[in-house]
Each structure stands twice: as C-alpha cells, then as structure tokens.
Homo-oligomer: A and B are copies of this chain.
Amino acid sequence: MTDLGIDFAQKVLDEQPFSRLLGARITAFADGAATLEVDIRDDLRQQFGYAHGGLLAYAADNALTFAAGTVLGPAVLTGGFSVQYLRPARDGTLRAEAYVVHAGRRQAVCRCDIYVVGKHTGSAADTADTADAAEGEGGAELCAVAQGTILTAPPRTDA
C-alpha cells in the first residue's frame, strides 16, 4: 500500500492534458479504490445526446489505473480492460468507482462501476425517454461495468 494521497492523484490527473480537456477530477483515492468523475458536458455526447461510450471507456481506463496506483504506486500502466455498457447516460455526472480485486507484485486486477449521478436535470421530455425514470432525481444509476489489469511500469525501453 502506498502513501500517495488524493492531492497527489489529482496532481497526476492534472498532468494529463486529455483529462483536463474532458474536465475529469479524482474524488476518492485510498486503500485500493479510486473514484473519477466527469460532468456530462454537451461536447462529450454522441449523436443521440447521451454521453459518448468512448467517454465512459476513458473513465473506466483511468479509474482502474488510479485504483491500482493506490497499491502499486505511481509507476503503473494499463494492460487492458473489458467494459460492458448497461444504460445510456444523459445528464449529470459520470462517476467511475474503481477498486482493486487482487494485487501482486507485478500487476493488479481491478473492477470499475460507472454511474451517472444527479441526472434528470434536463427537461421532462428527456426524462420520459428513459425506461428507468422512476429511479429519479439525483439517484445514481449504473451505466457500465469494467474489469482490467494494471501493470507496474517496466523500464522505459519495454513498452
């Protein structure tokens, strides 16, 4: 377990130009778990008005890696991951909660649950589009689940 705190994690995130472009933030980072959030801005949507699947994949990738970083330290890289989409996310904030399932010396396997929270802030018509409107104002709905492997970074010559 490393001593890195959430300020360190947010600093690393801020050093990722792509994460700044998307407006991501780290809201939890400790003890084998990390949470990354992204507000669903209009420029992050796909053609039907939902958050783009690629945005959810970004959130999964990064949250998995930060969760692993809490136990493997800062020198990590993502080996790969699998993501399944469950529901479209229209409004509010994507919250990717990742946690370490198992960590060895060379890699960690993590899972991630991606929720949309504080949604239904749009018009009534938007809300009516969804099958799950009853879950209602401000609730958290599971939008995607992911599972992946994060490696300790090798010397720079072995990518």
Task: Name A residues whose Cβ lies closer than 8 Å to a Cβ of B.
Answer: 12, 15-22, 42-47, 52-55, 57-62, 65, 77-88, 101-102, 104-107, 109, 111, 129-132, 142, 144-147, 149, 151, 154, 156-159
Contacts and interface: CB of A to CB of B under 8 A. Distances in A.
Nearest to A47: B15
A81 to B, nearest CB: 7
Contacts of A156: 129
A50 to B, nearest CB: 9
A19 B87 contact: no
B131 A159 contact: yes
B78 A80 contact: no
Contacts of A42: 17
Contacts of A88: 159
Contact of A80 (B20, B62, B149): B149
5 A-B pairs with the lowest CB-CB distances in the bound complex, closest first: A54-B58, A80-B84, A18-B52, A57-B57, A15-B47
A62 to B, nearest CB: 6
